[in-house]
Amino acid sequence: MLLVACVPFGCAQKPKKVSDETLSSGTIYISVDESFKPVIDSQISVFLASFPNATIIAHYKPEAECLKDLQFDSIRMVIVTRGLSEEEVNFFRDTLGYAPRFGKMASDAVAVVVNKNAKDSLFVVSDLKGMLSGSLVSNKRFVMDGLKATSTVRFVLDSLLRGEKLGGNVQAAKTSEAVIDYVSNNPDAIGFVGVSWIGNKEDSSQLSFLNKVRIAALGCERCEESVYVKPYQANIVMKRYPMVRGLHYILKENYSGLGSGFVNFLTTERGQLIFKRAYLAPSKMALTVRRMDMEESDF
């Protein structure tokens, strides 16, 4: 009987660790602002190719929904256009016992796209504001990836309209790709999308988008001369392009798990080069800006 009583203890398995993850292995779920799907897909693909024991499952959705997902245990990390406010930091410190880490990885631009046959592809921000609010009479129809909850809409409301309401000439599309399709089929339409959807001409899918629409140029408010600029990297870095925003990670992890490993990848050389290749402006590595003469056909 004594021998039998000892068997269960001798055969008992060791208790599992709270997490068997490492910086390069395990499984995590993340929520990502849909505006950045092309570049984050590329980041995840390269990371997983380098670390085959890792699994990152990304859900792409409007920014507000990503931030809400931070309250769920299943979502470890979100990628959005802002960090946490002091109030949000205090909330998570009270509920989790620690404050999530967050930081800026790159700078992005909100690109304005027009139909291939549009007569006008040069705008100043004040005119866009007037047309969006309805205070400036225009036959233009605007389209964005939703009328609420998305980072693009928040940028337009906060940085362009600054408290004014959207006019009746603004329509909603479900995704950035749907915005591009709408503009390509409507000559009077003007769309707003993240530059990562159309910036990389080496990406065949983005090249097909550029065959459908044109990228508009906006008046440079910082330039000494009256010039119009497009959302190219140099204009983002130097803030010549007037519609620039940040790309941030928020990581809900107080140990060295897979989330920390992915953040390390995004903010060091390889991840920063992927942002650069996607025509965003990396925040953790220096870009050299040189003056040169180029024709519009070069872009």
Pair (41, 141) in one structural domain: no
Is residue 237 within 8 A of residue 70, CB to CB? The reply is no
Short-list 259, 188, 198, 247, CA closest to 44: 259
Could you identify the residue written with the tokens 């001369």? 225
Per the structure, the count of domains in the chain is 2
Helix axes 258-267 and 269-277, enclosed angle (nearest 10): 60
Which residue positions in the chain have pLDDT lower than 70? 1-19, 199-208, 286-299
Residue 85's CATH number: 3.40.190.10
Asked whether residue 112 falls in the same domain as residue 240, the answer is yes
Whether residue 219 sits in one domain with residue 151:
yes
Domain enclosing residue 120, as ranges: 108-244
Q: Which amino acid is at 271?
A: G
Residues 6+ apart with CB under 8 A from 259: 28, 30, 76, 77, 251, 252, 253
**DSSP annotation string for 95-128:** HHSSPPEEEEEEEEEEEEEEETT-S--EE-HHHH
Q: How many angstroms separate the first and last alpha carbons of the chain?
A: 83
* One domain for residues 83 and 113: no
Do residues 158 and 228 both lie within one domain? yes
**Residue 80: both structure tokens together:** 């959005």
pLDDT given at position 3: 42
What's the pLDDT at 299? 46
37 found inside a domain: yes
Q: What is the pLDDT of residue 221?
A: 87
Distance CA 84, CA 248 (A): 10
pLDDT of 206 reads 60
Predicted TM-score (pTM) of the model is: 0.84
Tell whether 6 is covered by a domain: no
Cβ atoms of residues 192 and 156 within 8 Å: yes
Domain membership flag for residue 126: yes
Asked if residue 88 and residue 45 are part of one domain, the reply reads: yes
